[in-house]
Amino acid sequence: MGAQAVSTLDMEDVHAFAFKVLGDITACQMGTLTAIADRLGLFESLADGGPATSPEFAVRAGINERYAREWLSAMACHGYVAYDDATKRFSMTPEQTFCLVDRDSPFYLTSIFAMEPTNWANVDLLTDAFRHGGGVPQARFGTEFWCGFERFTRTAFRNNLVQDWIPAMPEVDARLRAGGTVADVGCGNGQALLFLAKGYPEATLVGYDNYAPAIAAANANAAAAGLADRVRYEVRDVTAGIPGRYDLITTFDVVHDMPHPRPAMREIKAALNPGGTYFVLEFNFFGDLQRNIDHPLGIGAFGYSASTNYCMTQALAVGGEGIGTCMGEEKARQLASNAGFTQFRRIDFPNNPFNVFYEIRA
């Protein structure tokens, strides 16, 4: 760039943008350190044991002191841990603990960092998809990715599913208390149905997913929770049909991932009992780019990047639509209408701004 072109630049804007980019680079580097912290339980060690110097923390956490010192220093600069210069001790505030340590907290987020090594491992395949189309198949997202995602989604199921979401649909609540039937489509590792089973002990519950490793994990989770006699999970491509009839069918953060959502939603409608309900959870994004750029929560880039790394690409890998994470309410309404549903109600829960919910009926 010539001197004349440089002179037309607003250097304050250049500096601001350059430091934004540097902040993003820092976030990438901190992601590595946070993923390691998740694997080694470092946040838990610091929070549970109280304030500690670097040598004290190294002994407590069972790690090398030089790495402990550098990790603690990075986390302190980044605001993930607290530091008292007078005592040279590191600690965690209640707010940091709530988001990074407490696995039952509705704002527990450390689990997402566990998913990032898989995304980086798939960079070569994703680059090839950029050039030639297609995508990264679901089988390339292994155990660490899915365990991280399970921990991420579990918190909402634990804190909201039985307490808020189902009671917002009184007829559904009454049916389940009376022994109604539930199918969770795209059930993944099965967490939602385990919490439903505890909240509605008379209900009959089944989960379907086309990814066999997820179903194996779900059945193991049911056995560990002592619920294997009441909750079952099966490998099934629901576009080929859903056996049985149900009072409630759910898809939690699934529709935008579906390679073929249109036939899937037609089969969901066909599997509902008369007066049954299809309950959908999706991320709180819009179908319009400008609205996501101006998103009131500032999470538009999170949606499109998550979509490119997993949601869209795994659907395109098998010749699907590749709707993507930023599906939006308009698309959800269109899909429901095309499947033959005639009633569509959006439900908002103020304590869960990250998601939107749809109660859909025939």
pLDDT at 58 over 80: yes
Task: State mean pLDDT over 7-26.
Answer: 95
Q: What CATH superfamily classification does 119-361 receive?
A: Vaccinia Virus protein VP39 (3.40.50.150)
The pLDDT value given to residue 307: 98
Closest CA to 172 of 13, 352, 345, 53: 345
The pLDDT value given to residue 93: 98
* Chain length of the chain: 362
Instruction: Say if CB 152 and CB 111 are below 8 A apart.
Output: yes
Instruction: Say if CB 225 and CB 202 are below 8 A apart.
Output: no
Percent of the chain scoring above 70 in pLDDT: 98
pLDDT at 1 over 60: no
The pLDDT value given to residue 351: 86
Percent of the chain scoring above 90 in pLDDT: 97
For 3-101, CATH number?
1.10.10.10
pLDDT digits (tens, 9 = 90+) for 341-351: 999 999 999 88
Buried residues in 196-218 as b, exposed as e (16+ CB within 10 A) = bbebbeebbbbbbbbbebbbebb
Task: State mean pLDDT over 260-288.
Answer: 98
Name residues whose C-beta falls within 8 Å of residue 182's C-beta, 6 or more positions apart in sequence: 176, 193, 196, 203, 204, 205, 206, 246, 247, 248, 249, 250
pLDDT at 84 over 70: yes
Task: State mean pLDDT over 255-271.
Answer: 98
The pLDDT value given to residue 4: 52
The DSSP element (H or E) to which 358 belongs, if any, is strand 355-361
Q: Where are the domains of the chain?
A: 3-101, 119-361
3-101 and 119-361 in the same fold: no
Task: State mean pLDDT over 289-311.
Answer: 98
pLDDT at 137 over 80: yes
**pTM of the complete model:** 0.93
Reported confidence tier of residue 183, pLDDT bands at 50, 70, 90: very high
pLDDT at 5 over 90: no
pLDDT digits (tens, 9 = 90+) for 305-327: 999 999 999 999 999 999 999 99
pLDDT digits (tens, 9 = 90+) for 188-235: 999 999 999 999 999 999 999 999 999 999 999 999 999 999 999 999
Pairing mode, strands 82-84 and 89-91: antiparallel
Reported confidence tier of residue 6, pLDDT bands at 50, 70, 90: low
